[in-house]
Amino acid sequence: MVRRSQLLNPPFPASPPRTAATPLQGSCPRAGWLGGHVAHYMEHEAPYGELELTCPDGQIAHTLDWQSERPVLLLRHLQRLTAPNPGLMTGPGTNSYLVGDALMGHIVIDPGPNDPAHLERLWRAAGGDIRHIVCTHSHPDHAPGAQPLQQLCARAGQTPPAILGLPSAPTARAHSQFQPERSLHDGERLILKDAASGLQHTLHVLFTPGHAANHVCLVLQEDGLLFSGDHILNGSTTVIDPPDGNMDAYLQSLDRLAQACAAHDIRFILPAHGYVLGDAAAAVARLKQHRLQREAKVAAAMQALPGGSHDDWVKLAYADVPARLWPVAKRSLLAHVERIDQSGGVPRMNKV
């Protein structure tokens, strides 16, 4: 299947057939601009997928520096604007995405925190034409900007775009309360269409609880792109924080995303934090394997110290993680312990 993104950014013609004398290359480095210099990356490095999406023919044209002052063009109809909220939990900041163009208007995915400058930049990047605002989930670095962005559109004389998503569950923490104007339905499609040309952008909604009870991902069908919110990140694994986070639901949602990769021929994942990931199906599979391997370490820690505390177990199960990150890691450890307990996998002397 030829994707629209391949037509907009066509690769070079196919190379001649390889002969027995042709050396077999096992990798294909890509390059972009970072800090004013050309930087090269291999397939396993974080920027590689983004360079593959934006520069499929290998040209050195894409800038990788993180900044919040202007949108980054990923495809002709896809922009990313990173909020100025970098940190331990947000990486370089929250990625807000704009899908659409001047003919069809735009859909904003994850407006981010209530930062007036960021929201105005989003509005300007859309040319003032925003049709929908979608929040992948209710966490404070994703949803609080939705209502102020809607009000900004209204003040400019635009029909206020609807705020879409799923309401926060009763398990959500106080800072993660969210009520959309309309709840999205699993499997529904949000469509931007130009009647004259017949071209359209279609976002397919997938319910993916786990990181948060009200988490959704979105597939841009015409391009085989997955907007993963916080379910899949680039450069780190997302925190699963009970009770709103649930490890079993998270793993089941990963399975659903693996199925979606096959069903929609998804090649790239656009996370809420970090660069674009390439080879989407393999990225999902690696993430699930990592989670199960971590769970095995948690189970081993519980067996080694059956009377231990969560603080004792995190030192064993996350020994490969810097100690300064253990307080954060302990939240996901709790989710693994909950899943292990529910499966009856590890007998313990006491509940902690």
pLDDT above 60: residue 349:
no
* pLDDT for 14: 37
**Mean pLDDT of the 190-211 span:** 94
* pLDDT for 13: 37
User: For 39-91, how does the pLDDT look when each residue is reduced to its tens digit (9 = 90+)?
Assistant: 999 999 999 999 999 999 999 999 999 999 999 999 999 999 999 999 999 99
* pLDDT for 224: 97
Between CA 98 and CA 114 the distance in angstroms is 17
* pLDDT for 21: 55
* pLDDT for 26: 61
Contacts of 16 (CB under 8 A, 6+ apart): none
Neighbours of 4 (CB within 10 A): 18
Question: How would residue 10 be classed by pLDDT, with cut points 50, 70 and 90?
Answer: very low
What is the SS3 assignment for the chain? CCCHHHHHCCCCCCCCCCCCCCCCCCCCCEEEEECCEEEEECCCCCCHHHHHHHCCCCCCCCECCCCCCCCEEEECCEEEEECCCCECCCECCCEEEEEEECCCEEEEECCCCCCHHHHHHHHHHCCCCEEEEECCCCCCCCCCCHHHHHHHHHHCCCCCCEEEECCCCCCCCHHHCCCCCEECCCCCEEEEECCCCCCEEEEEEEECCCCCCCCEEEEEHHHCEEEEECCCCCCCCCCCCCCCCCHHHHHHHHHHHHHHHHHCCCCEEEECCCCCECCHHHHHHHHHHHHHHHHHHHHHHHHHCCCCCHHHHHHHHCCCCCHHHHHHHHHHHHHHHHHHHHHCCCCCCCCC
DSSP bridge pairs for 277: 269
Between CA 56 and CA 223 the distance in angstroms is 14
* pLDDT for 345: 72
Question: How would residue 348 be classed by pLDDT, with cut points 50, 70 and 90?
Answer: low
User: For 254-267, how does the pLDDT look when each residue is reduced to its tens digit (9 = 90+)?
Assistant: 999 999 999 999 99
Sorted by where each starts, the structural domains of the chain and their CATH numbers stand as 66-278 (3.60.15.10), 281-352 (1.10.10)
| Residue-averaged pLDDT of the chain | 92
* pLDDT for 314: 97
User: For 67-79, how does the pLDDT look when each residue is reduced to its tens digit (9 = 90+)?
Assistant: 999 999 999 999 9
Q: What is the pTM of this model?
A: 0.90
User: For 162-174, how does the pLDDT look when each residue is reduced to its tens digit (9 = 90+)?
Assistant: 999 999 999 999 9
Question: How would residue 3 be classed by pLDDT, with cut points 50, 70 and 90?
Answer: low
Phi, psi for residue 208 in degrees, rounded to 5: -135, 70
* pLDDT for 27: 72
% of the chain surpassing 70 pLDDT: 91
**Mean pLDDT of the 286-300 span:** 97
Q: Among 143-157, 297-311, 338-352, whose mean pLDDT is lowest?
A: 338-352
Contact present, 31 and 61 (Cβ < 8 Å): no
**Mean pLDDT of the 32-40 span:** 97
User: For 115-149, how does the pLDDT look when each residue is reduced to its tens digit (9 = 90+)?
Assistant: 999 999 999 999 999 999 999 999 999 999 999 99
Question: How would residue 344 be classed by pLDDT, with cut points 50, 70 and 90?
Answer: confident
Question: How would residue 197 be classed by pLDDT, with cut points 50, 70 and 90?
Answer: confident
Sign of the torsion formed by the C-alpha atoms of 223, 187, 101 and 61: negative
* pLDDT for 346: 67
* pLDDT for 151: 97
